[in-house]
Structure 1
Amino acid sequence: MSETVLLHPAIDGGIAAGSESFAGGTLACLCTEKPVKVRIDGQVVHNHACGCTKCWKPSGAIFAIVAVAPTANVHVVENGDKLAIVDPDALILRHACKVCGAHMHGPVERDHAFKGLTFVHTELSPDKGWQAPQFAAFVSSVIEGGVPPRSMDGIRARIREVGLEPYDCLSPTLMDALATFTAKKAGTLRE
């Protein structure tokens, strides 16, 4: 009998359904003293498992769970002085706790299809009702994080088993949004 591939604690035991009426909640970093807290007004969208090497993952997880919210809906409400930007040159300005390392919010501020959105990790919230993960992105990138290539068939099978579709980029909807943004900037899109 083969061992179950563990992807992330928030999806390994089954994906919890979100709530259409969810009004938002608060994320807290992993610190036991003076945790950073970030409030998100309203529901998130495009929640997904991400295999990229930039997203924060809890200890032992192969994938991150990350979603987006409008930047105007994301508010640091406690201990923001503990936050620092991980990579100021990156598209997503990931603000991480300097003590525990958890990524609390990552706004996109430069000219891009995702400008005005902030990436967040809803797993850092005790609140129930967040949108469930919808797909898995950048699946092949877990190899760059140290996963042996021979494990990929099992990982993709497990992703499908938990009810997600694995992509080696983003979901088709998000890829269409990126291509639309690029075509509009280039003047090649005629709607």
Structure 2
Amino acid sequence: MSNFIVKGKCRCEENPVQFQYTKEPFEIHYCLCTDCTETCGGSLAIIAVVENAEFEVTANQDKIKNFDSLETCHRKFCTECGCHMFLNVDAYPDHTLVHVPTLERGVDLGQTPDRWVFTDSKHPMFTIPDDGLPRHSGWEATSNT
């Protein structure tokens, strides 16, 4: 039996939405697509892709609101603080994509990002660091398979 667990939450100081995953993610990647970056308000999104069977909302699920930023992309926000926590994408029905900044800081997330995706969509003021990770102009499957 594994004791692996990573917890996350929204930004509410009282009664936050809380969630967790209990198995190492399928992958973690840096995403530069306009849908992710415009939704999170940053120049990149760090995404942990976890199996639905290992992902669970553990508190205040009633505060979660869905927003379809694309026809196939279903983003979950807290109705009180507005925090974008995770999403489901129709192309990956068995996985939940978790925004890494909503997870506990300083804990082992199960792996580290393995690539940059949608680099052609990056904001022009953002420079991808010289980190040796592969860069892909669009979507590219993980190298972990």
Task: Calculate the TM-score normalised by the size of structure 1.
Answer: 0.63
1:102-181 to 2 correspondences below 5 Å: 102-108=83-89, 110=90, 112=91, 114-126=92-104, 128-130=107-109, 131-142=111-122, 147-148=123-124, 151=125, 155-156=127-128, 158=129, 161-173=130-142
Which amino acid in structure 2 is aligned with residue 37 of structure 1?
Answer: Q
Which residue pairs with 1:10 in the alignment? none
In 2, the alpha carbon distance for the partners of 1:163 and 1:28 equals 31
Which residue pairs with 2:50 in the alignment? 69
Gaps of 5+ in 2: none
Check if 1:80 corresponds to 2:58: no
Which residue pairs with 2:35 in the alignment? 54
In 1, the alpha carbon distance for the partners of 2:104 and 2:69 equals 29
For 1:100, which of 65, 70, 81 is the aligned residue?
A: 81
In 1, the alpha carbon distance for the partners of 2:77 and 2:120 equals 25
Would you say the 8 A contact 2:26–2:51 is kept in 1?
Answer: no
Which amino acid in structure 2 is aligned with residue 121 of structure 1?
Answer: H
Shift in alpha-carbon separation, 1:168–1:125, aligned structure 2, 3 A: same
User: Comparing 164-173 with 40-49, which one deviates more in the overlay?
Assistant: 164-173
Which amino acid in structure 1 is aligned with residue 25 of structure 2?
Answer: V
Report the aligned-residue RMSD.
Answer: 2.5
User: Comparing 67-76 with 163-172, which one deviates more in the overlay?
Assistant: 163-172
1:99: how far off? Answer: 2.5
In 2, the alpha carbon distance for the partners of 1:165 and 1:22 equals 31
Shift in alpha-carbon separation, 1:167–1:83, aligned structure 2, 3 A: same
Which amino acid in structure 1 is aligned with residue 94 of structure 2?
Answer: G
In 2, the alpha carbon distance for the partners of 1:116 and 1:28 equals 21
Which amino acid in structure 2 is aligned with residue 129 of structure 1?
Answer: D
Following TM superposition, where does structure 1 have runs of at least 4 consecutive aligned residues deviating by more than 6 angstroms? none
Structure with larger Rg: 1
Shift in alpha-carbon separation, 1:126–1:89, aligned structure 2, 3 A: closer
1:52: how far off? Answer: 1.5
Percent identical pairs in the alignment equals 28
Which amino acid in structure 2 is aligned with residue 116 of structure 1?
Answer: D
In 1, the alpha carbon distance for the partners of 2:132 and 2:6 equals 25
Shift in alpha-carbon separation, 1:53–1:31, aligned structure 2, 3 A: farther
**Partner SS for 2:14:** coil
Q: Matched residue pairs, number?
A: 139
